[in-house]
C-alpha cells in the first residue's frame, strides 16, 4: 500500500541573465513541457551481452521515427533505439561490431571511457565511415579492465554535436569486481541515461540558433532513458543502485533527490574506495556516476530534481545564482522533476557496503604540461586549447608510453568546459590548488571560468594517436580538441 506523502515545495531562484542568455533551440518546442506527475515505470534499452567471451552484433545508425515519452520524434537511432542498446561485456572479452552507416552524413563510433587501442579497428575516432558504408570494429577489453559505466557515441569531428543531439548514444557496461560486492549485488540496479532534446511541432529537431554556438545546443525536453519523469520503485528498506550517464550534447545536470542523500560508489572510470555521501550530483556532459540510495524514509514519492545550473559560472556559481554573466540558457534555470522514486512494500533494511575497491595511487609525474581553454572569433565562435583550434594534421601533445604526467587545465574563458581525455583515465590531484578529498578515476572533469584543475595520468598499454577535448560537443566541433600522440617507450 502506498501512503501519499506531502511533497514539499521548494524555493527555486531564477537567474537574471543578460540579453545574450537565450538559446533559440528550445523556443520551438515550448508549451509542451512534460507534466511533473510521475510517468510510467522506467524502461531500459535492450541489452546486448557477451557470451563465452564474445560480444558480437550488427549495428545500424539510421534516422527513424521513435517515441520520446508520448511524442513522436524524428531522431537518429542505433538499431532503432533511443537511447541505443546497452552493451555489456566483461574484462578479457572480444568485441565485434559490424557497423553500417545509414545516416546522410559520415559518422563513426567512439567507446567513451574504455581503455582499448585508439587505432586500427579499435577506438579510432579518425575513421570516417561514409553514408551507406560499413566498418567492423574489433577489439579486446583488457583482462584487468575495471568494471564501470562507459558509453558509445559518434565522434566524426564537425558533426559530433549534431549527431549526439539527434539521439545517437548508448551505454557500454563492463561487469566485474564492483558488481560482485554482496551489498551491491543486493541492490536493485537502474541505469539512467540523461539526455535533453528539442522538437518542433512536427517532431523534428529544430536548427540550433546561433546563440547555441556559445552554450552549445540545449533542449528543453529532459529525458531519462527517453522517458519524461519515469517512476522508479523499490521496496521500503531496499537499496537502489543508480548508474547515471549525462549523454547530453551540452547540458549540465545538477541532481538532488528529495529527503535522500546519494552514496557515491563509482565515478567515470569505476569504483572509489568507500562510499561518499553527497546531497547533489553535478554531471557535466559525458560524465557518469554510480550512487546507492537507501529506501529508509516513510513510504511515498520522492522527486529526483534537476536544479538550476549556469554553465557561465559552472561549479563556482553554485549557491550564488543570480549574477549571471553571458551564455546561460533560460532552460537550465528552472528546477524540473526528471524521475520519481516510490516505495512499495517493505523489506529488511539493506546495509551500505563499508568498502569498495582501493584506488591505485599514481607515482609522481615525470612531466607537467599546461592546457589553457578559451574562445575567440573566426567565422563565428571558435573554441581553443592553448590558443589553437583543432587541426587533423597537427600533433599537439607527444608523450611516452609508461610515463606519468600532470596536466594543468586552466579555463581563462567565460563558460565551463568539461575536459575529456580518450584512452587513459586520470585522477584529479587538485582543483584550484585544493587537493581532491578522495581518489577517483575520471575521464571528464568540468573546469569553470577562472578555475584550474591538475590531472594525473599514466599512459599505459597503447601507443598511437588519440584525442582530448571539451565535452560540450559544440565546443569540440568548433575547435576545442587536440591530438595526443603516445609514442613507444
Interaction site with ligand C2O (CB under 6 A)? 110, 112, 153, 155, 286, 420, 422, 469, 471
Q: Is 112 in the site for Cu ion (CB under 5 A)?
A: yes
Is beta strand 444-447 parallel, antiparallel or unpaired with respect to 441-442?
unpaired
Q: Is 475 in the site for Cu ion (CB under 5 A)?
A: yes
Q: Is 478 in the site for Cu ion (CB under 5 A)?
A: no
Nearest to 194 by CA among 229, 154, 159, 162: 229
Residue 153 binds: one of Cu ion, ligand C2O, none (C-beta under 5 to 8 A by kind): ligand C2O
Give Cα 175 to chain centroid, integer Å: 19
- Rounded to a whole number of angstroms, the minimum distance from the CB of residue 109 to ligand C2O is 11
C-beta of residue 86 within 8 angstroms of C-beta of residue 43: no
- Rounded to a whole number of angstroms, the minimum distance from the CB of residue 216 to Cu ion is 7
Q: Binders of Cu ion among 332-391, rule CB under 5 A?
A: none
The burial class, CB within 10 Å (0-12 / 13-18 / 19+), for 264 is buried
Q: Which is nearer to ligand C2O, 135 or 153 (CB)?
A: 153
| C-alpha cell of residue 105 | 552524413
Is beta strand 336-346 parallel, antiparallel or unpaired with respect to 231-236?
parallel
Single residue of 169, 232, 359, 470 touching Cu ion by CB under 5 A: 470
- Rounded to a whole number of angstroms, the minimum distance from the CB of residue 116 to ligand C2O is 13
| C-alpha cell of residue 289 | 556516476
Q: Which is nearer to ligand C2O, 110 or 195 (CB)?
A: 110
Is beta strand 434-435 parallel, antiparallel or unpaired with respect to 281-283?
unpaired
Is beta strand 54-68 parallel, antiparallel or unpaired with respect to 94-102?
parallel
* Stretch binding Cu ion (CB under 5 A), from 217-225, 248-256, 291-299, 464-472: 464-472
- Rounded to a whole number of angstroms, the minimum distance from the CB of residue 138 to Cu ion is 19
Is beta strand 170-174 parallel, antiparallel or unpaired with respect to 86-89?
parallel
- Rounded to a whole number of angstroms, the minimum distance from the CB of residue 325 to ligand C2O is 27
- Rounded CA-CA distance 444/428 in Å is 10
Question: 3-class SS at 352?
Answer: coil
Ranked by CB distance to ligand C2O, the top (closest) residue is 112
3-state helix, strand, coil in the chain (%, to 5): 10, 45, 50
- Rounded to a whole number of angstroms, the minimum distance from the CB of residue 64 to Cu ion is 25
Single residue of 472, 481, 483, 484 touching Cu ion by CB under 5 A: 472
Residue 155 binds: one of ligand C2O, Cu ion, none (C-beta under 5 to 8 A by kind): ligand C2O
Residue 241 binds: one of Cu ion, ligand C2O, none (C-beta under 5 to 8 A by kind): none
Residue 28 binds: one of Cu ion, ligand C2O, none (C-beta under 5 to 8 A by kind): none
Nearest to 445 by CA among 259, 287, 252, 247: 287
Residue 469 binds: one of Cu ion, ligand C2O, none (C-beta under 5 to 8 A by kind): ligand C2O
Residue 455 binds: one of Cu ion, ligand C2O, none (C-beta under 5 to 8 A by kind): none
Q: Is 153 in the site for Cu ion (CB under 5 A)?
A: no
Is beta strand 444-447 parallel, antiparallel or unpaired with respect to 417-421?
antiparallel
Q: Binders of Cu ion among 397-456, rule CB under 5 A?
A: 417
| Residue 181 DSSP symbol | S
**172 CB contacts (<8 Å, ≥6 apart)?**
86, 87, 88, 89, 111, 112, 113, 114, 150, 151, 152
- Rounded to a whole number of angstroms, the minimum distance from the CB of residue 418 to Cu ion is 7
Question: Is the previous residue joined to 4 through a cis bond, with omega within 30 degrees of 0?
Answer: no
Size of the residue set binding Cu ion (CB under 5 A): 5
- Rounded to a whole number of angstroms, the minimum distance from the CB of residue 469 to ligand C2O is 6
- Rounded to a whole number of angstroms, the minimum distance from the CB of residue 486 to ligand C2O is 16
C-beta of residue 262 within 8 angstroms of C-beta of residue 294: no
* Stretch binding Cu ion (CB under 5 A), from 40-48, 219-227, 324-332, 473-481: 473-481
Q: Which residues contact Cu ion by CB under 5 A?
A: 112, 417, 470, 472, 475
Amino acid at each position: 500500500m502506498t501512503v501519499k506523502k506531502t511533497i514539499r515545495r521548494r524555493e527555486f531562484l531564477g537567474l537574471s541573465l543578460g540579453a545574450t542568455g537565450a538559446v533559440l533551440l528550445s523556443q520551438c518546442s515550448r508549451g509542451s513541457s512534460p507534466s511533473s506527475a510521475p510517468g510510467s515505470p522506467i524502461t531500459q534499452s535492450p541489452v546486448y551481452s557477451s557470451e563465452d567471451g564474445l560480444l558480437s552484433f550488427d549495428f545500424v545508425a539510421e534516422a527513424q521515427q521513435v517515441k520520446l515519452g508520448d511524442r513522436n520524434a524524428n531522431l537518429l537511432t542505433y538499431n532503432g533505439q533511443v537511447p541505443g542498446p546497452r552493451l555489456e561485456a566483461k574484462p578479457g572479452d572480444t568485441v565485434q561490431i559490424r557497423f553500417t552507416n545509414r545516416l546522410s552524413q559520415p559518422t563513426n563510433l567512439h567507446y567513451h571511457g574504455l581503455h582499448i587501442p585508439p587505432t586500427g579497428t579499435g577506438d579510432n575516432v579518425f575513421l570516417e565511415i561514409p553514408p551507406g558504408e560499413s566498418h567492423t570494429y574489433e577489439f579486446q577489453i583488457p583482462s584487468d579492465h575495471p568494471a564501470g559505466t562507459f558509453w558509445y557515441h559518434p565522434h566524426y569531428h564537425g558533426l559530433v554535436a549534431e549527431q549526439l543531439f539527434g539521439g545517437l548514444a548508448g551505454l557500454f557496461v563492463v561487469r566485474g569486481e564492483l558488481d560482485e560486492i554482496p551489498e551491491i549485488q543486493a541492490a536493485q540496479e537502474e541505469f539512467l541515461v540523461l539526455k535533453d532534446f528539442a522538437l518542433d511541432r512536427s517532431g523534428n529537431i529544430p536548427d540550433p540558433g546561433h546563440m547555441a554556438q556559445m552554450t552549445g545546443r540545449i533542449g528543453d525536453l529532459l529525458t531519462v532513458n527517453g522517458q519524461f519523469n519515469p517512476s522508479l520503485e523499490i521496496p521500503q528498506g531496499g537499496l537502489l543502485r543508480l548508474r547515471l550517464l549525462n549523454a547530453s550534447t551540452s547540458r549540465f545536470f545538477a541532481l538532488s533527490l528529495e529527503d535522500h542523500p546519494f552514496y557515491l560508489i563509482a565515478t567515470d572510470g569505476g569504483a572509489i574506495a568507500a562510499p561518499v555521501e553527497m546531497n547533489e550530483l553535478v554531471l557535466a556532459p559525458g560524465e557518469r556516476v554510480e550512487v546507492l540510495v537507501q529506501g529508509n524514509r516513510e513510504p511515498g514519492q520522492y522527486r529526483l530534481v534537476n536544479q538550476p545550473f549556469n554553465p557561465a559560472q559552472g561549479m563556482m556559481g553554485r549557491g550564488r545564482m543570480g549574477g549571471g554573466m553571458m551564455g546561460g540558457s533560460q532552460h537550465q534555470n528552472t528546477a524540473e522533476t526528471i524521475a520519481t522514486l516510490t516505495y512499495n512494500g517493505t523489506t529488511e533494511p539493506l546495509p551500505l557496503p563499508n568498502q569498495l575497491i582501493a584506488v591505485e595511487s599514481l607515482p609522481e609525474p615525470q612531466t607537467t604540461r599546461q592546457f589553457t581553454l578559451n574562445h575567440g572569433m573566426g567565422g563565428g565562435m571558435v573554441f581553443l586549447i592553448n590558443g589553437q583550434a583543432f587541426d587533423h594534421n597537427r600533433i599537439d601533445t607527444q608523450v611516452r608510453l609508461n610515463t606519468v604526467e600532470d596536466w594543468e587545465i586552466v579555463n581563462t574563458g567565460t563558460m565551463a568546459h568539461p575536459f575529456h581525455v580518450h584512452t587513459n583515465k586520470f585522477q584529479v590531484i587538485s582543483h584550484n590548488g585544493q587537493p581532491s578529498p578522495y581518489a577517483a578515476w575520471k575521464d571528464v572533469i568540468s573546469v569553470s571560468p577562472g578555475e584550474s584543475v591538475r590531472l594525473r595520468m599514466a599512459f599505459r598499454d597503447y601507443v598511437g594517436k588519440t584525442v582530448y577535448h571539451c565535452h560540450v560537443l559544440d565546443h569540440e566541433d568548433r575547435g576545442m580538441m587536440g591530438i595526443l600522440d603516445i609514442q613507444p617507450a
